[in-house]
Amino acid sequence: MLPIIDRAGVWALHKLDAETAHNLAITALKWGVAGSRPFADDEILSSRIWGRAFRNPIGLAAGFDKNCAALRGLTSLGFGFIEVGTVTPRPQPGNPKPRLFRLDEDRAVINRLGFNNDGLSAFVSRLSARIRDGGVVVGANVGANKDSPDRIRDYAEGARAVAPHADYIVVNVSSPNTPGLRSLQTLDSLTRIFDGVREARHEAGAEGVPVVLKLAPDLDQDELRAICEFAVDRSVEGIVATNTTIERPAGLASRHRSEAGGLSGAPLFERSTEVLTEIYRRTGGAIPIIGVGGIASARDAYRKIRAGASLVQIYSALIFHGPGIVSEISRDLARLLREDGFTRLDQAVGIDA
Ligand SMILES: Cc1cc2nc3c(=O)[nH]c(=O)nc-3n(C[C@H](O)[C@H](O)[C@H](O)COP(=O)(O)O)c2cc1C
């Protein structure tokens, strides 16, 4: 494998518009001509969650490989787990371009892609062909079509199709780029979605596959409290905290800062970590949380873990630092854990909450 997307590769990709650069990176990963030299995982980073073995807690966040097109290449980068999707039942083109913006000065990204994807049937044919070598856990993130007459049913349809092939399923009700989608974060809608998804999982003969809820960072205290109660009452198996934000924190310097869409990267870190801490406290640590939002170093990952995350994910940092960041975070995280006297990752989870 040629490590062509190293620091020089990142520099070259930044000469292109953001979406072209992304498509090129996916193509390179698909054909196995991009990669980094993965760090041999340190035993201290391994854990068991939902009965699955994670060799390290660093995952790829949803939206990078929406079509499950580059799993093999991504696996070689050293991730402990990879979340593919969001996939919708039918293919859809997403929003008009341009719809993806790098905010270089802010180490941030704004996207309003709008679930552009090839649809469930193409996605599942690729997901089902993956080689389950036990090395990397793969989650499938499902959503609803923009023009769907029944969005609640879309989630069940997605779950039924992916359940036999995925290690976990994510219900994504938190993308800001499909109008009205985030209003599914109410108790009534969540109840109907989870009833449908769990029934679909049963019909697919995949009872053991956990269903995880991905939340927005823009929920207020009352909404968050209600959702946490729902999650505990209904034994929701996991929470991803968080998706991108529609807020624009003060101090953004990039000329793209006023573009519509979801903001990710460094300016999301504090808010998403606050939400994560709140969820950990309110659920009493009973539900595994995947912490995501603005992680760009082992210190950031460690803060999420200490705030209550059992696992973490990255997306925007890959755009700015290239794939070498995955091994770098793993290596430095192992060191940080040892420096603080931990012998296992799970001992640090929630220690600051
Ligand atoms: C270009 C782009 C596309 C994304 N697409 C999705 C998506 O399809 N589904 C989803 O659940 N999250 C999506 N996300 C959100 C990420 O999974 C993640 O929650 C968010 O970017 C925060 O992490 P980060 O700061 O490390 O980027 C997307 C993010 C970006 C930057």
pLDDT beyond 80 at 40? no
User: CA-to-CA distance for 283 and 261, rounded, in angstroms?
Assistant: 30
Span from the CA of 176 to the centroid of ligand 1 (angstroms)? 10
Residues with CB under 6 A from ligand 1: 61-63, 66, 86, 100, 109, 111, 113, 141, 172, 175, 214, 243-244, 264-265, 268, 292-295, 314-317
Report the 3 state secondary structure along 256-318: CCCCCCEEEEHHHHHHHHHHHHHHHHHCCCCCCEEEECCCCCHHHHHHHHHHCCCEEEECHHH
Span from the CA of 88 to the centroid of ligand 1 (angstroms)? 15
The pTM of the full predicted model, rounded to 2 decimals, is 0.96
CATH number of the domain at 40-347, please? 3.20.20.70
pLDDT beyond 60 at 198? yes
pLDDT digits (tens, 9 = 90+) for 18-36: 888 888 888 888 887 665 5
Task: Give the model's pLDDT for residue 33.
Answer: 66
Rounded to an integer, the average pLDDT of 267-290 is 97
14: CB partners within 8 A, 6+ apart: 21, 102, 104
